[in-house]
Structure formats: structure tokens, C-alpha cells
Amino acid sequence: MIQLINACVSSVDESRGNSSNLLFSGQILPERNAGLNGAPSLQLEPGKGCVAAVFDGRGDDGHKAAYLAASAFRANAENLRTAEDLESLFAHIHGDLCAAASQDIEPPATAAVAACVSGDQLALACLGGCRAYLMRDRALFLLSRASAEVTPQTAPPAPDDGPLLGVDSVKPFTVRGALLPGDQLLLCTGWLPVALDAREMLRILVEAETPSNALQQLSRRAGNSRGDVAAVLLKAEAAEAPEEIPEETPVEEAPEALPVEDVPEEISVEEVLEEVLTEGSSEDPAE
């Protein structure tokens, strides 16, 4: 069993204003509610899961798009368990943003990366320039892709490029797998890896004593990035399972198993790591 310690941080690009939002511990945090003065953190009970996401808005109403997406995730957090759940919510948000578009201005749109953890099981979805990194065994791996249509060899898009919710009718890239004790999952806007290379990010994640300290260092090192630096960090630690009191339950007939051909195919964390190690990537694993 794992125990999650979560933290978030964000800084604001004064030239663009508020265009990104976080979903952290059930709260929507714009840049000015967090930032360089601190990284709010939370230690969850052993085995308790969470939903976290980062959105980077684009266009004249990018801040509205990011907030609408974060609001949708907050409203549906209790129902998010699988990659299919995340993909379905991405489609719903895309429809809402398209419906809110005006012919007179650039449509509201946002890049997004979101994760839900239930027990030790991770489901991840991403679209556009936002990124997801997994630190495992002192190596850093890029888990995200711009969309489901992108091949492993394709370089990640620039932070201000790539498909967007509200503009592009493409499926998000999804990943599922298990988190191991010691894993750290970093969700961030694409501006963070633009400001820091993978080796520097890895060094900070390895050496920082807490997720909060790691994010403060990442934000400081990113300095005056050309865009919003917003991130959520989930760290998995080993935890003992709580003692359970046995209950007498009626014997129920087991549900019929799905035929093999009806089980949806998913991409696992292990498959993504294998692709990175065998095919190479624009951001090779830093060791």
C-alpha cells in the first residue's frame, strides 16, 4: 500500500496575466493563490487516492477556459477512476468550450494534463503542451504525449503549440499503471521544462526533502519563464495497510467476466517507459 504526499506551486507571467489553473486537493488555485512564497502540501491517509490536474489556457479567454476545465474536474472528481473516465471528461470539457466560443474572438481553449490515483493505481490523460513526468529509481521519464495520435518518437510540442481542448477534436493520450513506493509524478505546464532541462529537474526531485520543497526549488530555478509555471507533484511512499475489521457479508454470485475481445486496450506506464528506453525520446531519461 502507498501513501500520497501532494504539493502544488505556480507563478504568474505578468505580461499575460492569469491563464493557468490547478486542481489540488479539491480546490482550484490560480497563480496568485500560490507561487514563490510557498507550495501548499497535503499528506493523505494510507490508500486514499486523489485527482490532480494542470491547465494552461490559450487565447483571449484562456483564463476562462482553464478555470472551466478545472471546475469540471472538481465537480466530477468522485467519479474519476480510470483512463476512460478521464477521456470522457476531456470530451465533455471540449464540448463546453466549443459551445462557449464566440465568432468575434479567439475561442477559449486550454492544454491539460490530469491524473487520478485510486489505491496505487494511476490513470493519466494529457492533451497539448502540458507535461507529465515520472521519477522512478532516480531516473526521470516523460509519460505524456500531445494526443492519442502522436507516436513515441514525436517531440513534445512547444508550450504555446499543440492540440487544445475547445479547438481540436482529438483524443487525449492516456496511460494507466501502478505507482510504486518512491515514485514521484509531476504534472506541469510546458513552460517548466522549457526553463529547466530534465537533468536539473531530476536533481531537484531526488535531493529535495519534501514535495513542497521540490516545487519551490523548481519554480525558483525556472525564474522568469516566458509563460506560467504551474505544477502539482504527487509522491508515493510505502505505508502499512490499516487494520480491517472482518464483516460477515452475504455470498453473491460473481459477475460474469468480460470476453477478452471486449476488454479495452490501454497503454501502461511500463509500456511508456519501455518505449522511452528502446526508441529514445526528445527528452531522454536523465539518470
Would residue 254 count as lying in a domain? no
Looking only at the bridges linking them, the beta strands covering 20-24 and 27-30 are antiparallel
Q: What pLDDT, on a 0 to 100 scale, did the predictor assign at position 266?
A: 58
Would residue 253 count as lying in a domain? no
Q: Which three cell numbers, joined as nine digits, stand for 184?
A: 514521484
CATH number of the domain that residue 271 is part of:
3.60.40.10
Would residue 33 count as lying in a domain? yes
Residues of the chain predicted below pLDDT 50? 31-37, 251, 254-255, 257-264, 277-282, 284-285
Would residue 152 count as lying in a domain? yes
Would residue 124 count as lying in a domain? yes
Would residue 9 count as lying in a domain? yes
Q: Domain limits at 75?
A: 2-238+263-279
Q: Are 179 and 238 in contact (CB under 8 A)?
A: no
Would residue 243 count as lying in a domain? no
Q: Are 171 and 196 in contact (CB under 8 A)?
A: no
Q: What pLDDT, on a 0 to 100 scale, did the predictor assign at position 258?
A: 40
Q: What pLDDT, on a 0 to 100 scale, did the predictor assign at position 85?
A: 96
* Distance of alpha carbon 128 from alpha carbon 147, whole angstroms: 7
Element spanning 55, H or E: strand 50-58
Q: What pLDDT, on a 0 to 100 scale, did the predictor assign at position 29?
A: 74
Closest CA to 228 of 3, 25, 7, 29: 29
Which residues is 231 bridged to in the sheet? 9, 188
Number of domains making up the chain: 1
Closest CA to 52 of 8, 3, 11, 97: 8
* Distance of alpha carbon 228 from alpha carbon 13, whole angstroms: 5
What pTM value is reported for the model? 0.82
Would residue 207 count as lying in a domain? yes
Q: What pLDDT, on a 0 to 100 scale, did the predictor assign at position 36?
A: 42
